A = this chain, B = another copy of it.
Amino acid sequence: MSKLVIVGTVAFDAIETPFGKTDKILGGAATFIGLASSQFNVDAAVVSVVGGDFPQEHLDLLSDRNIDISGIEIVKEGKTFFWSGKYHNDMNSRDTLATELNVLADFNPIVPENYKNAEIVMLGNLHPNVQLSVLEQMTKKPQLVILDTMNFWMDCALTELHNVMKKVDVITINDAEARQLTGEYSLVVAARKIHTMGPKYVVIKKGEHGALLFHDDNVFFAPALPLEEVFDPTGAGDTFAGGFAGYLAKTDDVSFENMKNAVIYGSTLASFCVEKFGTERMVNLSSEDVYKRLQQFKSLTQFDIELA
């Protein structure tokens, strides 16, 4: 089993969807990544920052799942990062209603001493310089560095993003972002261009249309599970990344063949995430639930054409 370091936001979200709205609830990329990876009982630590307003019970929720939270700095006099958004009817697009950086504005990530030799590093969506700072603290070259990012950093910190991209093995990005980053419409061509920017493995997330994993000339595809309804997409991409990273950490195998399985696990966990608001479904998820859904994924995609 590999050690896993996760850096990302631990935050408050307020979400509005066609199905309802929430007050401030637990959110943040590292929260979703951590919860997803905890399904694999890996040795993981979250590096983040929260304010004095952040409830102890939310921190307990992570540590109860054996996630090391010693790298979550608590700025007593500060306020926790807050994001608010409203999803449109198609659930694929959303408007950001509020972004209050608060303690995130001066976030200086500190990797706990005993995780500086972690084999897998998961850089959740954050300013590229913060992601880079985490990599620079590692005392041993990690076996695998996974980067998640978003269009926001392409708009306002592209040079910094390119710098961190040169140092990572895997990037996870959505289809619109892959197109923005490369100026290419074809995702096959876009992935090839992204390879030349650094990452040997490119995961392109297409939301309800699944996810593609590219490596050299190889491609693997995992559909999203067809669901009756998507209740709240918030955190689905982070949950995917957490499942991907957690599975690789557990199996201690970063081959392309094993990454295919990791993509399936990521998709499986993301399919739960969207069933309830925020983290609600992820904190009430049994290994039996996961097992059953993996079976659904298998019957959804596996066929029986004999080829020599």
- On whether A228 and B302 interact (CB within 8 A), knowing A206-B209, A209-B209, the answer reads no
The secondary-structure label for the interface of chain A is mixed
A21 at the interface (CB under 8 A from B): no
**A 205-243 contacts with B by CB, 8 A:** 206, 209-210, 212, 218-223, 226-229
Q: Which of B221, B265, B291 contacts A301 (CB 8 A)?
A: B221
In the complex formed, the residue of B with least CB distance to A300 is B221
Number of copies of chain A assembled together: 2
Distance between Cα atoms of A252 and B129 in the complex (Å): 61
Contact B304 A185 (CB under 8 A): no
Contact A303 B220 (CB under 8 A): yes
Contact B228 A305 (CB under 8 A): no
Given contacts A210-B223, A222-B303, A301-B303, 9 further A-B contacts (CB under 8 A): A90-B185, A186-B229, A189-B229, A212-B226, A220-B303, A221-B226, A260-B303, A261-B305, A302-B302
The 9 closest A-B pairs by CB, nearest first: A209-B209, A221-B223, A260-B303, A188-B228, A188-B226, A261-B305, A221-B300, A301-B301, A264-B303
